[in-house]
Structure 1
Amino acid sequence: MARIPLEDNFNDVINKTQRGLKISDEELAAKAEVSAADLAAVKGGEPIVPVIRRLARHLRLGPNALETLAEKAWYPQQPVFPRGFAAFNTPFEDMTVNSYLIWDPRSRQAAAFDTGADATGMIDVIRAEHLDVRYIFLTHTHEDHVADLPRLAAETKADVWASDREPADFPGAKTFQENVHFHLGELAIKTLSTWGHSPGMTTFFVTGLSWPLAIVGDSIFSCSMGGSPTNFEDQYRNNVQKILSLPRDTVFACGHGPLTTLAQEKQHNPFFAR
């Protein structure tokens, strides 16, 4: 698979944070002691490092991590799963979106997480590996993540599950609450409510594979997190309390962008690095 670009540039991180914290351009420029012209240039994507570092301090972002992102100087080391895990990246309008498949190698019982824009690749793996897909879990119901749900559900005959805070608009779909456990052979899946980007945004924490795995949807991206103009503080708190408290070697399977790990994001994600 070709290297998947980071979901957000440094200016995306700045813009998301500013919107989420509801800080006007005038207020931010005054607090950071930068000119309106320099602020506009940085928000437009010009990597003026001294300005970026000043803005970071007043947006509760890590200056070093934000500078590194602006310089395009880091990319997450990709974890390897020898078996039982597959990732799919499909184009949707002007972006790409991820979906995932896990399975127990012995029982062949499997679960899908989101569908992406096109579930063809996932269906090919399901057939090739002779998997018995028991569940289709939705991190949230935004269109890019559920675009091919009817086809995947018809192919697998699996139960469709989403948060009771954000039920799926799909016949027969079921809902779960937080801290529910599902099992696939030797694999265990726990639901964590990481709402903010959407009302029912859910992280699925999976144990039993080569590495602990958190399928985080749009809660967190490598070097960024999903936007939320209305519930930014809630999303940030949920990310810190429920995702960054997981084991340090946990792999993050994000809704957009590449795989990453908790340890790497604590060091390189401007939202969490200090």
Structure 2
Amino acid sequence: MPLQYLTLPVTPFQQNCSLVWCDVTHDAVVVDPGGELPRLLTAVRERGLNLQAIWLTHAHIDHAGGAGQLAREQGLPIIGPHPGDQFWIDGMAQQSAMFGFPPSEGFKPDRWLADGDTVQVGQQTLTVRHCPGHTPGHVVFHSATARRAFVGDVLFAGGIGRTDFPGGNHAQLIAAIRERLWPMGDDTVFIPGHGPESTLGHERRHNPYVADGA
């Protein structure tokens, strides 16, 4: 598979940070660097990768808490999320204090994302889907060729993202899963923001919140 990835659970919330790279060029991106940056950089070095960018699915502290520092120290652009999460980025310091995280550096994304945009790592192109509901600006990164989707906190194995945070919307989340994730295909493996991987087909059949019969 020309698109490779490594899942690294970080922070006390065990958030699935993903190191994603092109097996041809060895160019890499890091998706949702919530923290534990030395561990992430060690994984990059051990694999001989060229880190090119930071991609964010959304701006909650456990996903984006390390983005500002990593961008500054490594000279990386921050790509995403959708502008709907600006208020979460503006409140990063308050999020740090609220959840007992180390102080988080503020940042400004170099590129906001919208539904239907594409992002590139080496020779691999992924499509961006805007999937609001957990946060207003949540996006998902989908590789049709690799049959993989990095979905942040939209969908989990057996669960869905919380919608009780500011800007959350349960109906929007359900609609995003059904209208934007399911068409990616039952055989697509998704990497959630927490917990184990699953396939969209398995969740479509068995997930109590969004299964076809739910």
Q: TM-score range by the shorter chain?
A: 0.7 to 0.9
The CA deviation at 1:165 is 2.0
Alignment match, 2:174? 236
Q: Which runs of 5+ in 1 are unaligned?
A: 1-80
Instruction: Give the C-alpha shift of residue 184 in structure 1.
Output: 2.2
Distance 1:227 1:151 in 2: 27
Contact 2:174 2:210 in 1 (8 A): no
Instruction: Choose from 177, 181, 191 the match for 2:118.
Output: 181
Report the CA distance shift for 1:221/1:161 in structure 2 as closer, same or farther (over 3 A): same
SS of alignment partner, residue 184 of structure 2? coil
Aligned partner letter, 1:103: W
Q: CA deviation at 1:150?
A: 3.0
Q: Does 1:146 align with 2:64?
A: yes
CA separation in 1, counterparts of 2:3 and 2:157?
A: 23
Structure-2 residue corresponding to 1:216: 151
* 1:165 alignment partner, one of 75, 84, 89: 84
2:8 paired with 1:88: yes
Indicate the structure (1 or 2) with the bigger Cα radius of gyration: 1
Structure 2 residue aligned with 1:227, among 153, 157, 162? Answer: 162
Structure 2: stretches of 5+ with no match in the other structure: 90-105
2:106 pairs with 1:190: no
Which has the higher relative contact order, 1 or 2, with Cα contacts under 8 A spaced 6 or more apart? 1
Is residue 30–residue 55 contact of structure 2 (8 Å, CA) maintained in 1?
yes
Residue 268 of structure 1: aligned partner: 206
Quickly say closer, same or farther: Cα 1:195–1:188, change in 2 above 3 A. Answer: same
Q: Write the letter of the residue equivalent to 1:143.
A: I
- State TM-score, norm by structure 2: 0.81
2:75 & 2:149 partners in 1: Cα distance? Answer: 25
SS in 2 for 1:174: coil
Q: How many correspondences in the alignment?
A: 190
TM-score, normalization by structure 1: 0.64
Conserved 8 A contact 2:30-2:53 = yes
Match of 2:186 among 223, 241, 248: 248
For residues 148 and 43 of structure 2, what CA distance do their matches in structure 1 show?
Answer: 19
Describe how 1:58-69 pairs up with structure 2 within 5 A: none
Letter of the structure 2 residue corresponding to residue 196 of structure 1 = G
Q: Deviations over 1:88-109 (max 9, x none)?
A: 11232xx321110111111111
Letter in 2 for 1:218: D
Q: Which structure shows the higher strand fraction?
A: 2
Aligned letter for 1:195? Answer: P
Ranges of 4+ aligned residues in structure 1 off by more than 6 Å: none
Report the equivalent of 1:55.
none
> 2: distance between equivalents of 1:153 and 1:165?
21
Deviation at 1:172, TM superposition (A): 5.7
Letter in 1 for 2:85: E
Structure 2: how far apart are the matches of 1:225 and 1:82? 29
CA distance in 2 between partners of 1:174 and 1:83 (Å): 22
RMSD: 2.0
Residue type of the partner of 1:119? L
Aligned-pair CA distance for 1:214: 0.9
